[in-house]
Amino acid sequence: MRAYRTPALAWAGAFAGLVLALVADGVADLVATALVAAPLLLVAGHVRAARRQPPGKP
Amino acid sequence: MLLTLHRRCGLFVCLNLAVLSLTGVILVFHEEIDTFLGAMPEARGEGALVSLAETVEVARASRPEAHPVFVFQEPDAHPHVVFVGLTEGAPRIEEAEPVAVDRRGGELLGDIDLRGSFTGLVLQLHAELFLGPFGKLLTGAIGLAFLVSLLSGVAVYGPMMRRFRFGMLRVRRARRTLVADLHKLVGVATLGWTLVVAVTGILLSLGSILLQVYATTELAALGAHHADAPLVTDLRSLDAAVASAEATEPGRHWAIVALPGSDLASPRDYSVLLQGKEGLEQKVMTMALVDALAPERAEAHAFPWYLQALMVSEPLHFGDYGGWPLKLVWALLGLATLLVSLSGVWVFGRSRRDARARRRTEALDTDAEAARAEPMAPEPALAAEAP
């Protein structure tokens, strides 16, 4: 189950964002967009960290 | 077994998913593209608004052999423009071609070739693969296979990643390992969005069927008392009917009117679809049935759950319900899905190739070892001379 911990947070964020964007307008719309975009930011963060990884590290 | 299911479904949907992802990314921006290409008309007239009945007459005069099936407006996107659906064949809303009329002055803005426009063609490719109603069902089947591939993928992800940390990317290992890591990371991180798009896509592929089910069951029962009534062709009561329908649901305005005799109305009723100004009320419409001969008689009616789900599915699938930022995120997520699908197929192909190469090498090694282990057999002639 440990493997699903972080993905589950991303899924919950995306679902919340999609529903919020459907019912909200204005600032809430931006919050919703950020939540939907969160998984992409998560991926971007890991890719960046992997590229900066010094040689020799697993 | 789950991994095999994931691989097989992934291979089945890969090519189609590439088409669906790319066309989907284009469709996210359909409003902007249509505006840029001038595919949708804009009201140019000035002065007082003409009545809806007059706009229908203007449209009808442009094609006297056709009959009107629906009236439609999108006040936010096309203010003061009314679209009248005309058809010469069966009075089906889906088959009617819209004619735009400027309500300011009642000027005809011309026929709109929704199916022939750039975004119309992209939509046909996305929703039907240019195969008509069969294509819709095929897209639904592809969506179902995609859903199975997603669920089996998430099921195999847990056991596979038990010993590793989340987001592991082995950049200094073989390219196949890195691409497989990326496939897992992007796939699992974007799964929430992908699931929503897959499920709503499946629902939308069944849209025409669900509408027909509704028209032949609940709606037919609602209009049963007028089922055998003569068709009302004099539509002068249209404005009164719309006002009376709007009075049943304060805060909502009319969006579509299915005219008498169409597949969503009895021969004597208008079916007026009402929508709110913003949020969920804008997406989920309600309906009022109005007697065309006595327009003061309006009856409000909520759509069944499956049609409400269908209405919510459209924005959730196409991502065109937020502002520019949400559209951009939607497009990026669409491209990410394409990346996950293609990387999965690449890793699968590469691992098969590597396995074949490994088997060949192993076979060669085994032959060489066998040759070394075998004792040298004496030459037959020498063997005969031996004592």
Q: Which residues of A touch B167 (CB under 8 A)?
A: 6, 42, 45-46, 49
Going by pLDDT thresholds of 50, 70 and 90, the confidence category of residue B375 is low
Between B29 and B45, the more confident residue is: B29
- Which pLDDT score, from 0 to 100, does residue B187 have? 94
Contacts of B165 in chain A (CB under 8 A): none
Q: What is the mean pLDDT of residues B78-86?
A: 90
- Inspect the interface and report whether the beta carbons of A25 and B278 lie closer than 8 Å: yes
8 Å CB contact of B157 and A3 = yes
The proportion of chain B whose per-residue pLDDT surpasses 90, expressed as a percent, equals 58
For B157-220, the DSSP string reads HHHHTTTS-TT---TTS-HHHHHHHHHHHHHHHTHHHHHHHHHHHHHHHTHHHHHHHHHHTHHH
Predicted confidence at residue B126, as pLDDT, reads 94
The pLDDT of residue B90: 83
- pTM above threshold 0.90: no
A interface mutation test: which of B160, B188, B275 has the most A CBs within 10 A? B188
Describe the crossing of helices B191-205 and B175-189 by its angle, rounded to 10 degrees: 70
Contact A14 B278 (CB under 8 A): no
pLDDT of residue A23: 83
Per-residue pLDDT at B384: 47
pLDDT for A58 equals 53
Chain B residues within 8 Å of chain A (Cβ atoms): 154, 157-158, 160-162, 164, 166-167, 169-172, 182, 185-186, 188-193, 195-196, 278-280, 283, 312, 315-316, 321-323, 325-326, 329-330, 332-333, 336
- pLDDT over threshold 50, residue B387: no
3-state secondary structure B343-379: HHHHHHHHHHHHHHHHHHHHHHHHHHHHHHHCCCCCC
The percent of residues above 70 in pLDDT, for chain B, comes to 96
What is the pLDDT at residue B334?
Answer: 95
pLDDT of residue B376: 56
pLDDT at A56: 62
ipTM of the complex: 0.91
Q: Of B39-48, B132-141, B323-332, give the lowest mean pLDDT range.
A: B39-48
